[in-house]
Structure 1
């Protein structure tokens, strides 16, 4: 190429700086600075969910390619992009291992705190894509009964393994959301959990949302907690982020600032997808299948030693997961400083996923060894 393409990139996307500079002119900006004016002569845009890629942002610009380093793409006006022949890509599944780790930590901590035996419980998973499928495998691995609801997959696969939403609501002890945000259409998920949703609860349930805040109607959720329809509430996502509802925060058992997918591994995966797709689209000349050379190390030991003597397998898994990720640290930071929601995301501590760690069991046995391997840990 004679002339270098111009790229505008969100300055909070990790592992990106220095990678594309030999092949392109690249400018890093805070998401709040990415506007129509700065995009006038840009060829490409690399963003996160905070940048709304719509007519207001893109009209009259030279942008031909948008990459979002996220699994979600509800911030991209896909109809407008199609109309203007703008190619866009997301990074499906890039942080699914990270969300699994968050989910496992949240659930095991609530179970530990409230003395709940998880293998006696039924979990309802709403949305069974990259993340929901990992949650399903985790739940089955630790012996839980599982109900699945995913209308698009059910239509496509004609499978008997899915259940109706009403059935899931009435027959689950735990409900977890892993759906994209669809504001209209047959698979609308905007305010999927509204007053009518909570009206169907026939017993108090644990509720977990790591998908999108707008999937649950805030007022309906607050009322459900106050009416004791929800025994434990775990929220990583909120309506109107980063301005979150303080009353709702105080009603949660675990509250975090949209960081479920923020492991260093998940971030590296998302950036790699963006770089490789952009390289392919513009034929930049970067080596194929680029991946960050070094992912930072966490400040805990890579080796986890657990003595299994006189411990249930749930207790053992609880100890392993807690070593990799202490969720209450994130919870405390948000509660102590609700106004620094975005800063907490931007300066998130290094967290590594299960497959980074090596497990040494003392007084171990075959069943627990198999479970640990299935969860993705490395067994010494």
Structure 2
């Protein structure tokens, strides 16, 4: 069995090599000729799986995407040709939530304005938006949720309008899928008019899709308003973001908010489980066995951490400043954007770090944030 896998998808050898030959490919340049003899195709969000790519293949048994979104996959074509498909919803939700939370902590320190006490508006209350809210609420931050689709579906959480978030939130974090038409269109949801209407000193964070913000308009507005602070992980025109916009962001990264080792492992593992189910094979591998031992065994502290100490703990797990600097130094290089994504293998989640303390109360919030081993 020929198993084609995106070269940036980790842990495919230990998970899939028993089932057939694992053949890596470049996700941006995959051709129909490469796919011609594939039995299994495993992709990430940068590969468009459509009729043009698959037309010459008559043996495909399964297509999997190790991502939450499916806008890069022609689901109707797969259904018409009876090709089973699975994605990995929620696989990197924790990673994105922690990335957004860490970015807020970093930005708070950089501009000398504490995160504690601010109001955060989350636009899009799906897996990643919910994970971001979980971190913020664990830390005691007031969160406003906006998601008209979830609200219409009867989600029991409390939702507000986007106008309310614009008026009340100090920080706006975007977590919507890209939708290009219809009532709830998200392409250029933040156009020039909405960007111009952001209240004074707003922090805007985008960890979903670059097209949700009109990037040209953002440059125009930001050049007039130094009070706006930007954290951008996604960009229009990826893998070639506008250099002028990179320069205007406080923190800039190449679409890696979900790129924790745990998140990547979950995505690959979920596809492994689905393929085993389709082939009636036992799923006898273990997710935890894939992950390397974390380089810090345990952190012990004597007093409950304040915001500065919390940021230090977060940096033990992931230091956003490093990726920001690497990105700025390399994104203009040939394939710089994708090379950094491919080589991004160091980031862990809060759960990798065990905490210990003596005779302290009121630190359950550290456990709720995701750190492991809280207590002693």
Q: TM-score, normalised by structure 1?
A: 0.91
Cα offsets for 1:280-302 (capped at 9, x unmatched):
1233x24356536231245x413
The correspondence for 1:147, drawn from 144, 148, 151, is 144
Corresponding residue of 1:67: 64
User: Residues 158 and 332 of structure 1: is their aligned pair in 2 closer, same or farther, counting only changes over 3 Å?
Assistant: closer
Quote the RMSD (CA, aligned, Å): 2.0
1:315 aligns with 2:312: no
SS at match of 2:140: coil
Shift of 1:93: 0.8
1:352 aligns with 2:348: yes
Shift of 1:84: 2.8
Cα offsets for 1:336-373 (capped at 9, x unmatched):
111211111111132221111111336x6312x11111
Corresponding residue of 1:127: 124
Structure 2 contact 97–133 (Cα < 8 Å) conserved:
no
Runs of 4+ in structure 1 off by over 4 angstroms are none
Q: Spell out the pairing of 1:195-344 with structure 2 (5 A cutoff).
A: 195-228=192-225, 231-283=228-280, 285-288=281-284, 290-291=286-287, 293-298=289-294, 300-308=295-303, 313-338=306-331, 339=333, 340-344=336-340
User: Residues 210 and 158 of structure 1: is their aligned pair in 2 closer, same or farther, counting only changes over 3 Å?
Assistant: closer
Measured in 1, the distance between the counterparts of 2:119 and 2:340 equals 33
User: Residues 145 and 349 of structure 1: is their aligned pair in 2 closer, same or farther, counting only changes over 3 Å?
Assistant: same
Shift of 1:87: 2.2
Cα offsets for 1:257-281 (capped at 9, x unmatched):
1111111111110010111111212
The correspondence for 1:377, drawn from 368, 371, 374, is 371
Structure 2 contact 202–228 (Cα < 8 Å) conserved:
yes
Shift of 1:100: 2.0
Structure 1 unpaired stretches of 5+? none
Measured in 2, the distance between the counterparts of 1:250 and 1:277 equals 42
Corresponding residue of 1:173: 170
Corresponding residue of 2:361: 366
Cα offsets for 1:241-263 (capped at 9, x unmatched):
11111000000000011111111
Structure 1 contact 297–352 (Cα < 8 Å) conserved:
no
Measured in 1, the distance between the counterparts of 2:94 and 2:264 equals 11
Structure 2 contact 144–169 (Cα < 8 Å) conserved:
yes
**How many residues are matched?**
370
The correspondence for 1:41, drawn from 37, 40, 44, is 37
Structure 2 contact 33–56 (Cα < 8 Å) conserved:
no
Shift of 1:176: 0.3
Q: Spell out the pairing of 1:80-95 with structure 2 (5 A cutoff).
A: 80-95=77-92
Structure 2 unpaired stretches of 5+? none
Q: TM-score, normalised by structure 2?
A: 0.92
